[in-house]
A and B are shown apart, each in its own frame.
Chain A
Amino acid sequence: EADIYQTPRYLVIGTGKKITLECSQTMGHDKMYWYQQDPGMELHLIHYSYGVNSTEKGDLSSESTVSRIRTEHFPLTLESARPSHTSQYLCASSQEGDLGYEQFFGPGTRLTVL
């Protein structure tokens, strides 16, 4: 069973606030990912990491930032939330190597910015 956790599960916040979405995995995976998912739409990769101190931008431009100081932890931060940031954010991790390796997903954080 996958052991990847996201907190909070739901967040409603006002415009201009700084927020951090937490993601942790206990599987020792090197690679971690953040996806953004809007209703009825596909998942879009916004950030990924090869390992500690490695972060890259994904396909979808995002005003969020990420950090990877520890293998198990991959938080996402929005310095100033806006209504356009309202979405579901999914964190995932995978083993390094084979293209066919499964990405394990967390339960997601549903963010609403008022």
Chain B
Amino acid sequence: AQSVTQLGSHVSVSEGALVLLRCNYSSSVPPYLFWYVQYPNQGLQLLLKYTTGATLVKGINGFEAEFKKSETSFHLTKPSAHMSDAAEYFCAVSERNTGFQKLVFGTGTRLLVSP
């Protein structure tokens, strides 16, 4: 079975600093990978996804992630944090199960941004 590990339940950065949220996955087949963001009292919103092709994926709000097969990683980055980036971030891997798209989520990383 596939799994996702997100290192660090909380990450704190200053406004304007680099954001790096780590995600490692395990999969026996080429994975489809996703990053979702959850703002307080809201559902999840897709930030970006990797399916095939270019390994550097750009998403919304200035975020990007790079798929590194050799490291089984899909870390999320943003060059300059903004206060509005404070939220919970979930990495997920797509697992096929009898023709059904099943998402396996990590435990999430809460991003805290200080002025």
Contact = CB atoms under 8 A, between A and B. Distances in A.
Q: Which of B42, B44, B103 has the most CB of A within 10 A?
A: B44
A76 interface: no
A44 to B, nearest CB: 8
A105 B45 contact: yes
A43 interface: yes
Contacts of A92: 43-44
Interface in A92-114: 92, 94, 98-108, 110
User: Which applies to chain B's interface (DSSP): helix, strand, loop or mixed?
Assistant: strand
B108 A107 contact: no
A87 B106 CA distance: 18
A31 B94 contact: no
B41 A42 contact: no
B12 interface: no
Nearest to A50: B100
Interface of A: 2, 4, 6, 9, 31, 40-43, 45, 48, 50, 56, 90, 92, 94, 98-108, 110
Interface of B: 4, 9, 32, 34, 36, 41-46, 49, 51-52, 90, 94, 96, 100-103, 105-108
30 contacts: A2-B45, A31-B100, A40-B9, A40-B108, A42-B4, A43-B44, A43-B103, A43-B105, A45-B103, A48-B100, A48-B102, A50-B100, A56-B100, A90-B44, A92-B43, A92-B44, A99-B32, A100-B32, A100-B49, A100-B51, A102-B34, A102-B49, A103-B46, A103-B101, A105-B43, A106-B43, A107-B41, A107-B42, A107-B43, A108-B43
